Amino acid sequence: MARKRVCGERDLQEGRLKAFDVDGRQIVLYREGGKIYAFDRWCTHEQGDLAAGSIEEGVVTCPDHGSQFDLENQGVNVLGPDGEEAGSVPDLPVFKVSVVDGDVFVDL
């Protein structure tokens, strides 16, 4: 795993998803209540763009078929596409985030 600088902390707006390309890896950052989440941009079901999704209580929802992933629990799939049971698609890769001197770093 390598720690990579993604952006400045001030580049992230509270409650807004923002996509980044980090050395060819597409990720999304999201800031809420002083916490920053980092996760793969593409849903593990049919590659829906999670940067266009929504997050509520630490769970990201894919805009295409509604798959949900718990960001607080390492991206575990908690609802499958179109209401299928939890675990019906692979978990979403979630990355450790650190902030150093106003810069956001992610362990990829």
Domain boundaries, the chain: 3-107
pLDDT, tens digit, for every residue of 48-95? Answer: 999 999 999 999 999 999 999 999 999 999 999 999 999 999 999 999
Amino acid at 17: L
Q: Considering Cα of 53, then 32, then 7, then 107, what sign does the dihedral take?
A: negative
Q: Which fold, 3-107?
A: Rieske Iron-sulfur Protein (2.102.10)
Residue 28 has pLDDT above 80, yes or no: yes
Tokens 């929802």 sit on residue: 61
**If you compute the radius of gyration of the chain from its CA atoms, what whole number of angstroms results?**
13
Q: H helices of the chain, where? A: none
The mean of the pLDDT values for the chain is 96
User: CB under 8 Å to 22, separation ≥6 — which residues?
Assistant: 4, 6, 106, 108
Residue 1 has pLDDT above 80, yes or no: no
